[in-house]
Amino acid sequence: MNLIKSKKLFFILLILSFLGFLDSVYLTILHYKNAFPPCSVTSGCEEVLTSAYSMLGPMPLALFGSIFYLTVIVLCLFLITNYKKIYLNILNLLVFAGFIVSVILLLIQAFILHSFCQYCVLSEVITTALLILVVLKFWEGKRR
């Protein structure tokens, strides 16, 4: 994959990560305001966002999501402006870990809570898209 195609890919990753960041920050703000987002697609937002699974210690999972997406954004900016293999390796590992967490959270929504939060599912879809793009970039690099 040439440098121009790589920069386009990292720019797409950057945009997706920014959307995920906005989603996670929105949920984090609502958590600290003790408010709930309007759910127009699903009806389980409140159940999911108030469950024991929505927190890790004293912090909402949405805050961890915000940190995850912000880190991906920073790595993409580094890769766009000053490509280094170490940044790509960190990005690959981070996105893979984020995907694993997203799958676990989706399974919790489906099989334990029996409720879905559209904002959580949006984050899971974005993380899946990030993984697909990172895997495509990884395979492209291996074919060279």
Going by their DSSP bridges, the two strands 55-56 and 59-60 should be labelled as antiparallel
What pLDDT was estimated at residue 3? 60
How is domain 3-143 classified at the CATH fold level?
de novo design (two linked rop proteins) (1.20.1440)
- Residue-level pLDDT at 138: 80
Cα 54 to Cα 47, 90, 91, distances in angstroms: 10, 26, 25
| Per-residue confidence (pLDDT) for residue 5, from 0 to 100 | 73
What is the pTM assigned to this prediction?
A: 0.93
Beta bridge partner(s), residue 55: 60
Alpha helices in 33-60 (DSSP H): 45-49
pLDDT at 2: 62
**The predicted structure's pLDDT at residue 43:** 77
Q: What is the C-alpha separation between 27 and 35, in angstroms, rounded?
A: 9
d(CA 77, CA 97): 20
The reported pLDDT for the residue numbered 137 is: 85
Q: Determine the pLDDT at residue 144.
A: 62
Judge contact between 35 and 50, C-beta under 8 A. no
Question: CA distances (Å), 93 to each of 25, 61, 80, 111, in order?
Answer: 22, 19, 18, 27
CA distance between the termini of the chain: 8
pLDDT at 44: 87
For each successive 10 residues of the chain (144 residues), what is the average pLDDT?
Answer: 76 98 98 91 87 97 99 97 94 98 98 96 98 89 68
pLDDT score, position 40? 79
